[in-house]
Amino acid sequence: MTRGVRLIRSLWESESGATATEYAVIIALVILVVIGGVTALGSKVSTMFVDADQGW
């Protein structure tokens, strides 16, 4: 755990920390898009599985 804290602290203090922050923002946006997609398609996929199960 302290190793991770040291890594974050060193990135925060160095100039490459800005790049790491940009990557973190990009990753957060990708995660939001994935969550939105799963939320939007989740009920449709669930309905498809229920319908398939009832057919057997």
pLDDT < 50: residue spans in the chain: none
Q: Which domain holds residue 48?
A: 2-55
pTM of the model: 0.52
pLDDT the model gives residue 56: 59
The owner of tokens 């957060």 is 28
Query: Within 10 Å of residue 7's Cβ, how many Cβ atoms?
Result: 11
The residue whose two tokens read 């990708």 is 30
Q: Total structural domains in the chain?
A: 1
Q: State whether residue 56 is helix, strand or coil.
A: coil
Q: What angle do CA 27, 5, 15 make, to 5 degrees?
A: 65
Whole-number pLDDT of residue 35:
94
DSSP string covering 30-45, please? HHHHHHHHHHHHHHHH
